[in-house]
Structure 1
Amino acid sequence: MGVDLKIDKVVKRYGDNEVVKGLSVDINPGEFFTLLGPSGCGKTTLLRMIIGFNTIDKGSISVNDHVVNKIPIHKRNMGMVFQNYAIFPHMSVKDNVAYGLKNQKVSKEEINRRVDEILEVVKITSLKDRLPEQLSGGQQQRVALARAIVTHPEVLLMDEPLSNLDAKLRVEMRLAIKNIQKEVDITTVYVTHDQEEALAVSDRIAVMNEGVIQQIGQPKVIYSRPVNTFVSNFIGTTNFFTGHRQGNRIDVEGYQFEMNNLVADSDEDVIVSVRPHEFRISDDPTGIKGVVKTSTFLGLNTHYYISLDDGREVEVIDDKESIEIIPDDTTVYLKFKENRINLFNITTERSIIEGVDECE
């Protein structure tokens, strides 16, 4: 059973630069929790604070309510998988995986049992006598994962573990990692800058920027109801429009529509976030005028690239079952799926959709 991991108001400074700014989050037992954000946002620094590579300047980190701030790395009972795998090139797969157990003075019989068991879990039993140079990138990643969890750590930490793999192998390995994590039932903190990867593997995601958590929530919530424009822009693809709200009525470039899921009645300028699948293509001139520049048919849907009067080009995903493709250079009008789009106050850049909250 996984453990509870609590991060409470932690701060990390390098000189005058505060890279983690009073950050707090509770990670549930057995949860696959992802820290997602652009390079330099503080996510790897936080991961290194959890395991003890980086000191904590303020705040605390606790495992099952036991503060670990001052506990040495080798006594924290945590496993880590690095971006570059860090497996020993001169050792066989079996010896690489057994390394941590030998350091713990585990008996030879127990080492053999646990190594065989974990090699079976990560599906590399047939490779146990090979050297790392004889393995593919995905196989090396499985070795690194096996070595990290064979010692039965309370917490598993993973720092961009798939970034060195090609696109096809990344997709395969993220599914494998998710399945293995659930099978061993270990509390896991995973760091990535890849939004698709985070959406695919996570139970919950914390989106970070400049040392601050912007939003925490389940992948679907983060994607469909971002708390601010940063999250909306960082997760997936979106198109921003400026407009004005008067009560429930919104005006965007003369296109007017109503929304019934907004916070208290207000008269304010807004930013409207519309993802490609949240457009409706219409011949009704009350919509936003555009011209089809090109299209791509992908079986389940058609992707249109439409040039607007202001010179912008937007991608529109049409999921209608019609087999007719709109020809290039056709004038169309775009409307929004009002129940799916997101609105933000233009000054604060925060969501004005009812019920959207930073922490779920």
Structure 2
Amino acid sequence: MPTDENVPAAAEAEPLDVLNAAAQALLRHVPADVWCAVMLDPATLLDTGGLHEHGFPGEVMPRLFEIEHGEQIGVDNIRALARRPTSSSLLSVSTRGELTQSVYFQDILSPAGLADELRVALRADGHTWGLLVLCRANGSAPFTARDVERAEAISSPAATDLRRALLLKGIDDTEVPDAPGLVMARPDGRITYVSRIAEFWLSQISERHRDPSASTTHTLTAVLSRARRGLSGQPVSARVRLGTGRWLTISAWRDAPAGEEAIIASLTPSRPASLAALVLNGYGLSPRERQIAQLVILGRTYAEIATSLHIQEQTVNDHMRKVFAKTGVGNRVELCTEMFTRHHLPVIANPPLSTDGRLMATGA
């Protein structure tokens, strides 16, 4: 499949538009009766917005999120798929033809009248940034091996453009409240309280729904579902890029106030330092290039970097030439300007990156 038909230039489109273009490019070759496309936090694989207008019926969504993010079961669960060498999967193949033995098929596909599901993880540089899900109904032609190949072909180019659209478009200067919002839910997932500020943040999440009157976002439902399976008091989090271009962190945890267990979620503007690693990831830098770029941004000289990393200074120069080429700047001053002016980021205080792409905390 030609890559130029997959997605528009990331610098010219919003993330939802890039995601939609990727889905439409695949659907032209691989039609589906039901389909959806979601963005994922690459660190937690929780939903962070998406396209659901042509997706699953609303009544199966709570159970879908429980299977996907709470129980985390099934051969084609997003976490299992993210670990595989291939990016696409067909449920009938993954279950070796025993679809009826799959809880996901029993509880999600079968009640919706669907016969099979094709998934493609949008993966670039080892990180999964989104997921396309295509389903065919009972009576429709089955998916073929060629369909799976087409899905596989779209994964990397679509992920690369989605990542750039998410991370390289800068941050909107629109004035919005910076206070955290609060959401409370029962153990069964039913939301019992949403603060006014939480309503504001939820309204900014990039999602399009099959049912425009949906009471909440799938992004929040996914986080709550994961928190229900976590340890009491231990939060799970997802970083979400809002329609305004800002970033929001949704954290949720189990709590037991007054003898009645509840799920509590906070919605807070993301701290710029927590996004630094994501922004560097957006340029497609290698782990070594990211490490050296962060040290340069911290003001280290090439000689100091070479000494601290036990490499030759010429090697640092070679890596930085690649960094300049990938970020589109000409020197270290322009790199700092790009990082801090375009992305409004303060000095990176806690390098290096953790294995999942976030900054590591220090003991200081």
Same-fold call, TM cutoff 0.5: no
The structure whose Rg is larger is: 1
TM-score, L = length of structure 1: 0.27
TM-score, L = length of structure 2: 0.27
Structure with the higher helix share, 1 or 2: 2
